[in-house]
């Protein structure tokens, strides 16, 4: 399993991690993970792409689902995208590339 991404979000440090099960849920809401990754990288994303990525990764990082929804409502929905976009990018980069300095089998 890839190490979670931890950063300050809203009110405290939080861990973010998209598990395989949560990626399936993300794909159900936002389309294929590859397309989502491309939309975010090329800045062709929707608000739901950012908020669902962050919400589900909070859950994968250990935040209770209700609390994750509350955090997203408070710190994603009505905040400038410049605050949340980098978090969504880092979450998706972990899925795509793994954690920095994490050994890979190849």
User: For the residues 7-25, what does the mean pLDDT come to?
Assistant: 95
Which band of pLDDT confidence, cut at 50, 70 and 90, is reported for residue 106? Answer: very low
Q: What is the mean pLDDT of residues 30-34?
A: 94
Q: What is the per-residue pLDDT across 36-93, written as a single tens digit (0 to 9) for each?
A: 999 999 999 999 999 999 999 999 999 999 999 999 999 998 899 999 999 999 999 9
User: Is the model's pLDDT at 102 over the cut of 60?
Assistant: no
The answer to whether 26 touches 95, Cβ cutoff 8 Å, is: no
Q: What is the mean pLDDT of residues 16-35?
A: 95
Confidence of residue 34 (pLDDT cuts 50, 70, 90): very high
Own/partner long-range contacts of 77-83 (Cβ < 8 Å, ≥24 apart): 77/47, 77/51, 81/47, 81/50
Query: What 3-state DSSP class applies to 35?
Result: helix
* pLDDT value of residue 1: 65
Q: Is 89 exposed, middle or buried (0-12, 13-18, 19+ CB in 10 A)?
A: middle
105 pLDDT tier (thresholds 50, 70, 90): very low
The two tokens of residue 45 are 């994303």
Residue 30 has pLDDT above 90, yes or no: yes
């Amino acid at each position: 399993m890839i190490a979670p991404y931890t950063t300050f979000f809203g009110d405290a440090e939080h861990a973010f991690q998209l598990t395989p099960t949560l990626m399936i849920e993300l794909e159900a809401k936002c389309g294929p993970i590859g397309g989502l990754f491309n939309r975010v990288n090329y800045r062709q994303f929707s608000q739901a792409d950012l908020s669902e990525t962050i919400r589900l990764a909070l859950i994968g990082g250990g935040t209770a689902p209700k609390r994750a929804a509350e955090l997203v409502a408070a710190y994603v929905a009505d905040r400038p995208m410049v605050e949340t976009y980098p978090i969504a990018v880092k979450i998706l980069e972990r899925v795509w590339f793994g954690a920095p300095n994490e050994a890979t089998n190849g």
